[in-house]
Amino acid sequence: MNNFLKKGYLPYLISGILILLSFFNPFYNSAISFEDKASKEISESILLLEEIETLTIPLAETIPFLKSWAHTYENDFDKLLSYLNFADLLMLLQLGILKLSEWWVFKLVLVISFLGLFTNYTKSICKNLLIIGLLITPGLGIYTQLLSSLSNQMEIDLGADLKSNLLATKDSINTKKNFINPL
């Protein structure tokens, strides 16, 4: 065993195991469902926040002493929306990369890159390709699975509370608006 480690075969063994793991990818389905759920929560929160903004800003601009405040209120909405849009973009990007990692062509590139490690001519390029490939599959699936487990154990909210609070706010605003201005 000591001789095995001294000759530097351990990285090859770990890479081989990770490539085999990428073919079976036991983390894929749970990672996809976690990413889908989180992305859906963020997208729904964005829609609700935009609805609240369209309901409240015109209302605030009609009240004289709130008119100057409406501009900063709108800037706050824009900042929050840009944050949520960026988070949604990152979630969709992760989801897209996760789905691409299941293509057989991607796995073929991993195998070819692994085999290229044994030739001096392509060793450096294949090493870089293999590292990037292994970060994507099974790396992204493992990362997402760990993030899912961590958020479940620590009871971290991934947007459900935000969405429910925004929905309650929207309903409250609509109720008050309908009370003030009935059809």
The Cα 73–Cα 66 span in angstroms is: 10
For residue 59, give every residue at least 6 positions away whose Cβ sits within 8 Å of its Cβ, in sequence order, or none.
173, 177
CB neighbour class for 45 (10 Å; exposed up to 12, middle 13-18, buried from 19): buried
Would you state the pLDDT for residue 90? Answer: 92
Collect contacts of 16-20 with beta carbons under 8 A, ≥24 apart.
16/114, 18/134, 18/138, 18/139, 19/107, 19/110, 19/111, 19/114, 19/134
Would you state the pLDDT for residue 82? Answer: 92
Work out the pLDDT band at 89, boundaries 50, 70, 90: very high
| 121: pLDDT strictly greater than 70 | yes
Q: What is the pLDDT of residues 28-72, one digit of tens each?
A: 888 999 889 888 888 888 888 888 888 877 777 777 776 777 677
Range in 50-54, 93-97, 150-154 with the lowest mean pLDDT: 150-154
Would you state the pLDDT for residue 59? Answer: 74
Tokens linked to 7: 């000759």
Q: What is the pLDDT of residues 134-146, one digit of tens each?
A: 999 898 989 988 8
The Cα 126–Cα 107 span in angstroms is: 14
Instruction: Provide the CA 127 distance to its chain's centre, in angstroms.
Output: 27
Q: pTM value?
A: 0.74
| 1: pLDDT strictly greater than 60 | no
Would you state the pLDDT for residue 172? Answer: 79
By the 8 A CB rule, do 56 and 173 touch? yes
Q: What is the pLDDT of residues 97-109, one digit of tens each?
A: 998 888 899 899 9
Neighbours of 142 (CB within 10 A): 17
Range in 11-20, 27-36, 86-95, 164-173 with the lowest mean pLDDT: 164-173
